[in-house]
Structure 1
Amino acid sequence: MSTIQVELPAALQPLADGAAVMALDGTSVGDALAALQARHLAVGQRILTRGGALREHVNIFLDEDDVRALAGLETPLAGYRRMTIVPSVAGG
């Protein structure tokens, strides 16, 4: 099991009692996000679908690596120090 520092975007911080960064445990990205959802249900619901998949408009980075380019939610946390949650920005 690894501990990773998770950085939340400003839009999700009010749903996490104002936390910008928190430490979460898990062996994979999915484990850490499940721990986040257990701690702050509303945050987890904005990141994961009801079926537990990563929402299309949310990007997750481990250090500088996009998890979609790795193994998605199955990506192991070992060797990484930081997970950053980035919502997609749309506009025109």
Structure 2
Amino acid sequence: MSNITVRLPASIAHLTGDNKVVECAAHSVVECIQDLDVRYTGLKDILCDLDGNVSDLFFVFLNGENIAYLQGMKTTLQAGDELTIIPAAAGG
């Protein structure tokens, strides 16, 4: 498994003891989120919709590239990769 750095927004850092940067060991984005959810209960419920995809409330970037334009939750990870999770902004 690959060691990945995950950067979280302040709005959900309360789930990780206010840590905005955490590590996970995973082969894919979905495995990473599952791994984090085991350690930080409730994280997956906030980040994912009922189908297990990234919620419309967040964007997930792998090394600066939106995973929606890669293979989504199935996007593979390599050692040293960085996932950045940011809240979607809405305005009107």
TM-score, normalised via structure 1 length:
0.90
Matched, 1:58 2:34: no
Question: Which range moves more in the overlay, 24-33 or 77-86?
Answer: 77-86
Partner Cα separation in structure 1 for residue 48 and residue 37 of structure 2: 9
CA RMSD of aligned residues (A): 1.4
Where 1:4 maps in the other structure, the secondary structure is strand
Instruction: Go from structure 1 to structure 2 and tell me whether the alpha carbon gap of 1:81 and 1:90 turns closer, same or farther (over 3 Å shift).
Output: same
Q: Which residue of 2 aligns with 1:14?
A: 14
Q: Which residue of 2 aligns with 1:44?
A: 44
Contact 1:7 1:84 in 2 (8 A): yes
How far off its partner does 1:39 sit?
A: 1.1
Q: Which residue of 2 aligns with 1:86?
A: 86
How far off its partner does 1:15 sit?
A: 1.8
TM-score, normalised via structure 2 length:
0.90
Q: Unaligned 5+ residue runs, structure 1?
A: none
Matched, 1:24 2:24: yes
Partner Cα separation in structure 1 for residue 79 and residue 40 of structure 2: 25
Partner Cα separation in structure 1 for residue 35 and residue 49 of structure 2: 15
Q: Unaligned 5+ residue runs, structure 2?
A: none
Contact 1:61 1:85 in 2 (8 A): yes
Partner Cα separation in structure 1 for residue 53 and residue 13 of structure 2: 21
